[in-house]
Chain A
Amino acid sequence: MFKNLPFFPEAASAQAGQVDAVFFFLVAVTAFFSVLIAALVTIFAIKYKRKHDDEIGEPIHGSLVLELLWTVIPFAITMVMFGWGAKVFFDLTRPPIGATEIYIVGKQWMWKAQHMGGMREINELHIPVGQPIKLIMGSEDVIHSFYIPAFRVKSDVIPGRYNTMWFTATKAGTYHLFCAEYCGTKHSGMIGSIIAMEPAAFEAWMGGGKAEDSPVAAGAKLFQDLACITCHRTGAQGRGPILTNVFGHEVELQGGAKVIADEAYVRESILNPQAKVVNGFQPVMPTFQGLVTEEQLLQLIAYVRSLSQPGAAPAAEGTNSATPPQGKN
């Protein structure tokens, strides 16, 4: 029944080694102190076992030196743990520039993934080995948590915002994907597979997708269908800011405050347009809350973002790319 006794999880990402190293250090400290205390207590219990009913212990009130020792030494050890653990955490939460991005949407009870190349998957995620992958994740309903034990990474997926995580797979193979935050009846069924492939195999797999299905293309289509284009353009009808070269740059708002136009900002501007209006524009944009799904939001963001990339296609017909970007709404 239990042919191979699994004792330690497979380590299949560049990060796993880092996490395991801190873990081993802490296991060693834990084992040392647990054994030390257990040994002291056992030895004292045996050595000083009561010999007769009237026996009393030797009255010792304490020792300042000992108290200081067992305050300072554990404190010093924990500070090492803190520093090391925090460093690993920072490495695990800061994606490198240029990581391949994949959009993830969690909903009760499945994981949906959208590759930039157009492939879409449910409860499966194909990734290339050796390439840093950054996941941008949102939820359609309640809080979920994207967890790949073999990669030692996890991040909650929260409705109303985007969380990111990143990893670099080092070994081809199929790994568990779990939802780690309790999300309702079929929580334990919200599982899937991470399929790490050699780059060549991955390219072949990606070749199965069509470019017009890419999030950027889908977002461009939505930009037309939802009539965003009627305002976000130059000319008299251009009541909204032009979106070329906006993403990733600073935007000046009414009242002089400034924000970086990132995923969260674009999302907020679509769902709650009056929240942060760009300086020089009227707050006339209607909300799209309830009109676009989480996946469509991600597509729109992908499109807005593509307008800021070198060699980006013009935003839409009617846009004069020579116009200096004024921000967006």
Chain B
Amino acid sequence: METLNYLNNGHGLASWLLTKDHKRIALLYLVSITAFFGLGGFFAMLIRLELLTPAGDLLTSETYNKVFTMHGVVMVFFFLIPSIPAVLGNFLVPIMIGAKDLAFPRINLLSWYIYVLGGLFTLTAALTGGVDTGWTFYTPYSTAAANSNVMTAALGIFITGFSSILTGLNFIVTIHRMRAPGMTWFRLPLFIWSHYATSLVMILGTPVIAITVLMVAAERALHLGIFDPALGGDPVLFQHLFWFYSHPAVYIMILPAMGVISELVQTFSRKNIFGYSFVAFSSLAIAVVGFLVWGHHLFVAGQSTYAGLLFSLLSFVVAIPSAIKVFNWSATMYKGSVSWQSPMLYAIGFIGLFTIGGLTGVMLATMGIDIHVHDTYFVVAHFHYIMVGGAIMGYMGGLHYWWPKMTGRLYNEPAAKTAAFLIFIGFNLTFFPQFVAGYLGMPRRYHAYPPEMQVWNVMSSAGASILAIGYALPLFYLLWSLYRGAAAGADPWGAKGLEWEIPSPPPTENFGTTPIITHGTHQYAPSKEVGIV
């Protein structure tokens, strides 16, 4: 006899498209962001194919520029930003705090529709001629020179921004107002802390990008001249406003991944986190200080040197909480019972790659180095280490970890391990050579490049093909698990947390009666302090 759960409680398309259940909305997001990930990945493959040879011989310059623009726009706004919050966060935030749903289920569904609408605008822009501004939409190129699809793409980003705002708003209200009795702030899973911090960035930063792209649209369509140098406008002001959001947006991508890693490291070491409050508060510190560092994107953009100094200093400060997290994760594994199951492989990969990504970020915050490597492949390599090596590793790890909970099925573990290895190796082969090419001086967004840099690009393209196989594999074994996977049971990992105490897949209401919380998550044994305190 099959028990009633959120998946079989209602059938048919309408029961999905009109659902207010946070778990079903999470799956709607999962399907749509996977589609966009595929699209963004397709553009990435075109880029890597073109760059196999120094001459621009596969695509025309115009097409190439549109391809990397769409790669950036799709991956940033339609995959990375919604990935962990909208899929894993949506599914887990209410469950982890002992609530039946998010505070505003209808707004949650609305956010998905808004996301899809924004996506349609962007796809329209891509299909009706493309946009060639780069995902950064720098003025005056985007207002004066580029083709008119900028409007459509900008509107797509504007609309999608509201989906992000609504998700963040929902999380904040839910975490404040919907916690089960006894679920105090310091008993919250670290996943919740990181999602709370992420939501702060979403609601405080996203409106600024919305108004900024709106100003670009107004300048294009209505001939208002806010960034127009002829009217005394300053293109650098656009960059300030753009990065006021877009730098913190990096933390929208990485903070949830950090939350995932905190959960993974605890479960697969069978140990509570080392230094809970430091890990929890470092998330908030990253969210807050992360708002004060945007000007490190403008060191060579004609920003005043003193502003550069301030931004450089603050950028070093924001590196510290990230370092604290990395050290605490490592320390958590000490004297643990470390399992080598696939989610943990992603977590270990994350720690290593994020360390490299973070430290190369510190190099870019160093003004004297940035003047040379700014806008080169060094930057490209750095942010892919954070976004792919960090955010996507975290997403993949989390997806594997909670897949049995979401679907009630176990996937094929050897296949998952293989994919994790392929992704790790493919990733490093793709992006490490780009550090070298960058320091050699290869500028980003170059369709053709000097021949002496070919060796690094060939390596990178070779790595990309391994990476592509690594990302394609889960599509098969995860789907396969839906039909043939063994039943997961409530807690396949021996993990400690509210989500593992309800059936897999969870019932629609999550909890029969509101749970009363008596202690924090991941308590595997009575605690004891380390010798020195």
Contacts and interface: CB of A to CB of B under 8 A. Distances in A.
Contacts of B224: none
Contacts of A6: 440, 452-453, 455
Contacts of B533: 63-65
A23 B305 CA distance: 20
Interface string A176-197: 1011111111111100000000
Given A37-B351, A184-B141, A93 B441 contact: no
B366 A60 contact: no
A61 B455 contact: no
A29 B360 CA distance: 10
A187 B447 contact: yes
B17 interface: no
Contacts of A62: 274-276, 278, 328, 331, 529-530
A289 B333 contact: no
Contacts of B525: 56-59
B299 interface: yes
A85 interface: yes
Contact of B440 (A58, A149, A180): A149
Contacts of A40: 330, 333
Interface string A70-100: 1100110011011011111110110000000
A23 B440 CA distance: 13
Interface string B332-346: 011111111000100
B313 interface: yes
A263 B18 CA distance: 62
B368 A78 contact: no
B359 A44 contact: no
B455 A158 contact: no
A8 B378 CA distance: 13
Classify chain B: how many residues form its interface, as a range: 35 or more
A50 interface: yes
B27 interface: no
Contacts of B526: 59
B146 interface: yes
Contacts of B447: 187-188
B320 A71 contact: yes
B300 A30 contact: no
A272 B228 CA distance: 14
A87 B449 CA distance: 32
A5 to B, nearest CB: 6
Interface in A1-54: 1-2, 4-9, 18-19, 22-23, 26-27, 29-30, 33-34, 37-38, 40-42, 44-45, 48-51, 53
A254 to B, nearest CB: 18
A150 B371 contact: no
Nearest to B298: A156
B211 interface: no
A140 to B, nearest CB: 11
A222 interface: no
Interface string B139-174: 011001110000000000000000000000000000
A38 B436 CA distance: 21
B449 A33 contact: no
A142 interface: yes
Contacts of A161: 229, 302
A150 B439 CA distance: 10
A60 B528 contact: yes
Given A64-B533, A78-B319, A141 B145 contact: yes
B45 interface: no
B279 to A, nearest CB: 9
A142 B363 contact: no
B134 interface: yes
B232 A60 contact: no
Contacts of A179: 443
Contacts of B324: 67, 70-71
A326 interface: no
Contact of A61 (B233, B338, B355, B527): B527
Given A30-B359, A188-B61, A178 B274 contact: no
Interface string B268-280: 0111101110100
B181 interface: no
Contact of B363 (A26, A45, A61, A90): A26
A156 B300 contact: yes
Nearest to A49: B338
B369 interface: yes
A154 interface: yes
Given A57-B524, A89-B308, A33 B368 contact: no
Interface string A219-247: 00000000000000000000000000000
B511 interface: no
A159 B270 contact: no
B323 interface: yes
A70 B533 CA distance: 14
A30 B363 contact: yes
B477 interface: no
A155 interface: yes
Given A34-B352, A45-B348, A88 B368 contact: yes
B71 interface: no
Interface string B246-277: 00000000000000000000000111101110
A150 to B, nearest CB: 7
B450 interface: yes
Contacts of B62: 185
Contact of A187 (B65, B276, B452): B65
Contacts of B270: 50, 55-57
Nearest to B348: A41
B421 interface: no
Contacts of A130: none
A147 B271 contact: no
B229 A160 contact: yes
A145 interface: yes
A132 to B, nearest CB: 17
A66 interface: yes
A286 to B, nearest CB: 16
Interface of A: 1-2, 4-9, 18-19, 22-23, 26-27, 29-30, 33-34, 37-38, 40-42, 44-45, 48-51, 53, 55-67, 70-71, 74-75, 78-79, 81-82, 84-90, 92-93, 108, 141-143, 145, 147, 149-150, 152-156, 158-161, 163, 176, 178-189, 272, 275, 289
22 contacts: A8-B440, A29-B359, A37-B352, A41-B333, A42-B348, A44-B338, A45-B340, A49-B338, A49-B340, A61-B530, A62-B278, A66-B275, A71-B324, A78-B320, A79-B316, A143-B301, A149-B372, A153-B371, A155-B302, A180-B443, A185-B61, A289-B230
Interface of B: 56, 61-62, 65, 132-134, 136, 138, 140-141, 144-146, 229-230, 232-236, 269-272, 274-276, 278, 299-302, 305, 308-309, 312-313, 316-317, 319-320, 323-324, 326-328, 330-331, 333-340, 344, 348, 351-352, 355-356, 359-360, 362-363, 365-372, 374-376, 436, 439-441, 443-450, 452-455, 494, 523-530, 532-533
Given A48-B336, A142-B140, A182-B138, 7 more contacts: A2-B454, A26-B362, A40-B333, A66-B331, A88-B369, A90-B305, A185-B65
For the complex of A and B, list the 9 residue pairs with the smallest distance between their C-beta atoms, beginning with the closest: A149-B441, A160-B229, A88-B368, A57-B271, A85-B366, A89-B367, A57-B336, A62-B275, A44-B333
